[in-house]
Homo-oligomer: A and B are copies of this chain.
């Protein structure tokens, strides 16, 4: 089988998600957590091959991003006090809308409910018009694609007015953009209730997606499990900047679990309540977002789905180089572009199919509350296009809100080569007069005055000049306050500044490792055309859970010493391997191992005992070659770690013909 043959064979049998899931669970790549206790939806455990695959992906991530770019890795706590997430906006805005049925206790996610009921009515209409044969079967398929339960159990063939159809279609086209109250209005207007009983539901309530807990024995320090790793990085900004000798740009990075209390996740690795994230926060001067290594990636061609294409209703991507994309301003700046290209290179390296990868720009109304712009790397799976990596420009949002809240500066100080003259209004307070006049309110009044903007100061300066006093009110203090020029001086002053102070902007590539892993499972999975029961997971050797299957031909004791010798060398070279000395046939053992995605098999037979030679088998092509133990292991190393192709890696080994795969 040539490389071309393998490519064809991989396309020959239609992909079946059911078959993939059966292999993944059967080989314990993953399993529902607490299975023994009936399971908890949205929680999964990784078994040995899944865990090892995950560890290899994380290891490659660390090398590709952290080591390559000298990023500063941190490991911050998951438990996060209320105050931090209140400031970041998550307490108020990180929620979905849910509706309760007070009679049955059922809980629905409001946007999904409206979407599914309207879709079901449209399907019923189509059946009534004779355009669809079985509306229920179609709805079942749609629900499955979205990994949800079909909520509307029985669709009735009822024809709708033409303008109602149009209204429904209009709503569905922008279903992601509605607020809770808007969804509630629609539910009233279109009489949307419990899809089974038809009974009305409570109006949509915001359900915060963070898991809440109490820190310490008093129960009074409210905390959450973090919804992202980013906040820990922002809070440590000053320490990171100091560690980096005060210089920007620089990036921090973090790999760790985050949590989202999804309203009703259905089985599957794509929507889970506890998940591994890898996040980079690249801190950059807002006035200079160029990147010194952009030229290294500028010629890489990518598929883009920018806002304007989406608005036109098309999903046909624009294929162009990242250099062009930045030059044309479709992608805002070099740093954002550099990371988009690096994300692409990483995903390809670990096994993503590049024909199933696109970069989609967020529409204005779907961005997270902190984002100024965002491109998602989306991977195509049987569930549709899935957001797997976000690459957001969070601007100065997070550093600013934390600095405002804590009154600690989170800024970069840059020595200016040529000092600049700056003219601005300044206010001086005669503090010793404030205490006697305002008593306990003095700090509030002082804070109010020192936080006035340039614009406000200009007005107050005018007022002070004209009236000899300023009049204002301060929140929390009753009545008007008057101060004359004994208390305050407001002046326009010109100063020479030697240091520029700025809040850096943040470019954030954020990876959902579990979603990437599941997508690679789909992209790697195929069935052998000659025997469709034989499934293969064609992982790149670099990230395959195990690199080598060691197969003694039989359990005969003469073979044991060779097996032990090869094991010892593989262990010393730290090449992950497993011995399969179960009694079943070689063919069956290879078949089992193809399902585990192990790229190489080393077979030990009676000739091995005589001349020390062993057979090396390649998973995808089932090709075999033969040579000394050392030569075979060298080939494995070259192909796995040094990027050699099978042909290059095995050029010194002899071809070998066996019937083992035909058994």
Contacts and interface: CB of A to CB of B under 8 A. Distances in A.
Interface of A: 27-28, 31, 33-37, 40-41, 43-48, 50-52, 54-55, 62-63, 67-68, 70, 72-81, 83-84, 98, 105, 107, 207, 211-218, 221, 223, 225, 232, 235-236, 239-240, 242-243, 245, 256-257, 259, 261, 263-264, 273-274, 402, 406, 408, 571, 574, 576, 578-579, 582
A87 to B, nearest CB: 8
**Copies assembled:** 2
A503 B200 CA distance: 53
B51 A74 contact: yes
Contact of A80 (B34, B84, B235): B34
B98 A73 contact: no
A207 B217 CA distance: 7
Contact of A225 (B37, B107, B213, B408): B213
B408 A36 contact: yes
Contacts of A216: 41, 261, 263-264
Nearest to A216: B261
B73 A51 contact: yes
B37 A273 contact: no
Given A213-B211, A408-B36, A55 B73 contact: yes
A46 B243 CA distance: 13
23 contacts: A28-B236, A28-B242, A33-B232, A34-B81, A35-B236, A36-B406, A36-B408, A40-B221, A40-B223, A45-B74, A45-B75, A45-B76, A48-B74, A51-B73, A51-B75, A77-B274, A79-B274, A105-B218, A207-B217, A211-B213, A211-B215, A213-B213, A216-B261
Return the 6 tightest CB-CB contacts between A and B, nearest first.
A46-B75, A48-B72, A45-B76, A43-B77, A51-B75, A33-B77
Contact of A235 (B34, B52, B67, B70): B34
B215 A40 contact: yes
Contact of A578 (B37, B70, B75, B218): B70
Given A31-B239, A34-B80, A215 B261 contact: yes
A576 B67 contact: yes
Given A31-B239, A77-B274, 11 more contacts: A28-B240, A40-B215, A43-B77, A43-B79, A45-B232, A47-B243, A68-B571, A70-B579, A78-B257, A107-B217, A225-B225
Nearest to A208: B217
A55, A212, A576 interface centre (most CB from chain B within 10 Å): A55
A84 B571 contact: no
B243 A574 contact: no
B213 A212 contact: yes
A405 to B, nearest CB: 8
Given A33-B77, A84-B34, A232-B33, A28 B243 contact: yes
A37 B81 contact: yes
A215 B218 CA distance: 22
A217 to B, nearest CB: 5
Contacts of A576: 67
Contacts of A72: 47-48
A655 to B, nearest CB: 31
Contacts of A256: 257
Given A68-B571, A261-B217, A235 B35 contact: yes
Contacts of A84: 34, 37
Nearest to A63: B574
Contact of A236 (B31, B79, B214, B225): B31
A252 to B, nearest CB: 8
A297 to B, nearest CB: 16
Contacts of A213: 211-213, 225
A83 B225 CA distance: 21
A479 to B, nearest CB: 32
A242 B35 CA distance: 15
A74 to B, nearest CB: 5
Contacts of A51: 73-75
Contacts of A50: 75
A235 B54 CA distance: 21
Contact of A107 (B37, B46, B218): B218
A242 B27 CA distance: 9
Contacts of A37: 81, 83-84, 235, 406
B77 A45 contact: yes
A235 B36 contact: yes
Contacts of A52: 73
A521 to B, nearest CB: 16
A651 B72 CA distance: 34
A74 B217 CA distance: 32
Contacts of A257: 78, 256-257
A246 to B, nearest CB: 9
Contact of A582 (B245, B263, B578): B245
A45 B81 contact: no
Contacts of A41: 216
A43 B225 CA distance: 13
Contacts of A43: 77, 79, 215
A96 B76 CA distance: 26
Contacts of A48: 72-74, 240, 243
**Residue among A50, A72, A240, A408 having the largest count of chain B Cβ atoms under 10 Å:** A72
Contacts of A76: 33, 45-46
A120 to B, nearest CB: 23
B215 A212 contact: no
Contacts of A207: 217
Contact of A74 (B40, B46, B239): B46
> Which of A75, A76, A212 has the most chain B CB within a 10 Å cutoff?
A75
A100 to B, nearest CB: 9
A36 B240 contact: no
Contacts of A40: 79, 81, 215, 221, 223
A75 B98 contact: no
Contacts of A27: 243
A576 B257 CA distance: 25
